[in-house]
A and B are shown apart, each in its own frame.
Chain A
Amino acid sequence: ETGVTQSPTHLIKTRGQQVTLRCSSQSGHNTVSWYQQALGQGPQFIFQYYREEENGRGNFPPRFSGLQFPNYSSELNVNALELDDSALYLCASSAGRVNFNVQQYFGPGTRLTVT
């Protein structure tokens, strides 16, 4: 086990709704990244937070937003859900920003289905 937890495990939402996914990082890990994994694909980088500030973003629209809290927890928020947002959402924590970032430890994911 990586010590990274995510909730909920599964979620079903309707197109146009908003959703919040949660992640609890390993203790001491001050960096969290979020990834979207569509069925049959590798994870795609959404964004990363370091010490509660966004540290970089992938090719995802602004309706994907996040927060990181001092207690090693974080959130991914998605507004105006679209059918293509159906995927496994993974968070990954790591111990630092420079160099240590590459060793990212993933949670089990939240499977989101948009109908």
Chain B
Amino acid sequence: QKEVEQDPGPLSVPEGAIVSLNCTYSNSAFQYFMWYRQYSRKGPELLMYTYSSGNKEDGRFTAQVDKSSKYISLFIRDSQPSDSATYLCAMSEGGGSNYKLTFGKGTLLTVNP
């Protein structure tokens, strides 16, 4: 079993739709949860960063973490064609030598005008 599982999609939605992206994980030591956006042939760009369980909102983006279920989500409201990209979840145990990011495979999202 991989440490982080993410449905690779592809996911295609009409402009204005609410998008839900999800990851599950098996390592209960993960404390930091991130979502990155990666456009084609570019490096990942940090979108959201959450510590432990709970919700975090930033504009049209909401990140949710449920550590009891080992499940994290990213919601995109009023999706735009410019949101078309691959979305990667990433996790870290954090602190000291537990610094590395463990990524999911990424979900390819297309928002159609």
Please give the residue numbers on chain A whose beta carbons come within 8 Å of chain B beta carbons, in ascending order: 2, 4, 6, 31, 33, 35, 40-45, 48, 55-56, 58, 90, 92, 97-99, 101-109, 111
Neighbouring A residues of B104 by C-beta, 8 Å: 42
Residue of B nearest to A58 (CB): B100
Report the bound CA distance from A43 to B42 in whole Å: 12
Decide if A109 touches B43 in the complex (CB within 8 Å): yes
User: Interface residue tally of chain B, by bracket?
Assistant: 20 to 34
CB distance from B21 to the nearest CB of A (A): 13
Decide if B49 touches A98 in the complex (CB within 8 Å): no
Decide if B94 touches A102 in the complex (CB within 8 Å): yes
Decide if B8 touches A48 in the complex (CB within 8 Å): no
Shortest beta-carbon contacts, A-B, top 8: A42-B103, A106-B43, A101-B99, A102-B32, A45-B100, A102-B92, A108-B43, A106-B44
